[in-house]
Structure formats: C-alpha cells, structure tokens
Amino acid sequence: MKKLTVLSMIAAALLLTACGDSSTGAEAKAATETKTEAPMKCGEGKCGDAMKTEAAAKCGGDTKSAGTEAKEAASKAVEKATEAVKETASEAKAAVTEKATAAVDAVKEKASAAVDSVKSAASAATAAVVSAVNLDDGKALYAKCAGCHGADGKTKAMGKSAAVAGQSAADLETKLHGYKAGTLNAHGMGMLMKGQVASMSDEDIKAVAAYMAGL
Ligand code: HEC
C-alpha cells in the first residue's frame, strides 16, 4: 500500500507539472498571437475570452495525454501493489501455517506427556493400593498364627520352629508351600503346619509371608 501511495503522488505531481507548464506556454503563445493577430479586439474583452478558451483547450489536450500516462502509471502501480500484497499475503499465510503447526505439535506433545504422567500416577496408586491390601490381608491371616509364632514373629513355635521374623518373604513363601504340599517337616511338626496352611490360597501365602517378613 505504501508503494501505491507514493506512485500515485508522483503521477499526480507529473500531471500538475505538465498542465502548469503547458498552460503557461499556451497562455504566453495565445498572448503573443492575440497581440499580433488582433490587437484592436483586445479592448472589447473578446481577446481575454479567446485566450482563455485557447489556453484551456491546449491545457486540456496536454492534460488528456498526461492523464493517460498517469492512468497507465497508476494501473502499473496498482498491478505492482497487488503483486506485492499477494506475495506478502502468501508469505504471511505460510508463516501462520508454520506457527500453527508448531503450536499444534507442542500441544500434542504436552497432552501426551500429561496422559503419560496421569497413567503412571494411576498405576502407582494401583500398586500402592494392592500392596496395602496385601499387607492388610497378611496381617489378618497372621492372626491365627500369632498364638504359636508370637505377635512379633520371634517366638519358637512349640519350642521347635525357627523365628519367622527376620526371614525373607521369598523363603517364608517357599516354606509355607512346602508345608501345604506335605514335603517340609523340619522339626517333626510338619503335619501340624500343613493343617495351618491347607486352606490358604497362593495369594494368601504370598500375603502372610510378606507380612511376616516385615515383622
Ligand atoms: C499350633 C501352633 C502353630 C500355629 C498356629 C502355626 N504354626 Fe507355624 N509352625 C509351628 C511349628 C511347630 C513349626 C515347626 C514345623 C516343622 O517341624 O517344620 C512351625 C513352622 C512354621 C514355619 C517355618 C519356620 C522355620 O523357618 O522353621 C513358618 C514359616 C510357619 N510355621 C508359619 C506359620 C503361619 C503362617 C501360620 C499361620 C497361618 C502358622 N505357622 C501357624 C507351629 C504353629
């Protein structure tokens, strides 16, 4: 738009200059002609009118050609300006598209990161709940064992077994499975222990072993 304005101003200036010059020249010429051709008529006021008409006609003629030039220049300027605007618009469009794409990508990334963190938080919460439930289950299951093994797990059951406290969950689990299967009989009381764990599921054994390991 700036280009167009400047060009229009130049065209207007050219037009004015052309008309001014020709008008001055025409007036001068008309004045000369009037003086030489009809010196007597000037006093009647007709001379002034004739001069004016002639000058106006000449100026008009010049103005016409100057106007055409200006028109051409203006249409060229409009063409150039249109091209420039088109170019700028397409550049702007490309820039906007680029930025929009980048913004969408950033949002996508952040969203997926948020989803990931929610997922991991959810799975952590699930794990915490599961382990809490397991420990609670283990504590409830141990209630019937505490009479012989002690609430703190340090009593030698019937003066024979080792203390369950201080043993690893994995070791305790293996021993309980041994009693349940009837394959473990460390102190001759394996059958008694078999009766204790016979009705326990694998999950129960895992839970009570985990609880004893924590004593
Ligand atoms: C009536 C008493 C009694 C009760 C109740 C009892 N136990 Fe025992 N427990 C024993 C005796 C006795 C042994 C030794 C068995 C042997 O000869 O191997 C033993 C052994 C064990 C051992 C092996 C310890 C080791 O390392 O030598 C574990 C583990 C155990 N009991 C867990 C339990 C659990 C769990 C319960 C409850 C579900 C339980 N016991 C209930 C008496 C009992």
Average pLDDT along the chain, 215 residues, taken 10 residues at a time: 53 48 48 47 49 50 70 88 87 88 89 88 77 80 97 96 96 98 96 97 96 95
Phi and psi, residue 55, nearest 5°: -60, -40
Residue with the smallest CA separation from ligand 1 atom 25 is 162
Task: Check residue 4 and give its pLDDT.
Answer: 52
Torsional class of 155: left (φ above 0), alpha (ψ -120 to 50), beta (otherwise): beta
Report the residue among 148, 191, 206 best suited for mutation to probe ligand 1: largest number of ligand atoms under 8 A from its CB: 148
Query: Ligand 1: distance of its center to the CA of 154 in Å?
Result: 12
d(C-alpha 59, C-alpha 38), whole Å: 22
Residue with the smallest CA separation from ligand 1 atom 34 is 145
C-beta atoms surrounding 83 within 10 Å: 10
In terms of Cβ atoms closer than 10 Å to its own Cβ (0-12, 13-18, 19+), residue 134 is middle
Report the residue among 142, 145, 204 best suited for mutation to probe ligand 1: largest number of ligand atoms under 8 A from its CB: 145
d(C-alpha 19, C-alpha 63), whole Å: 6
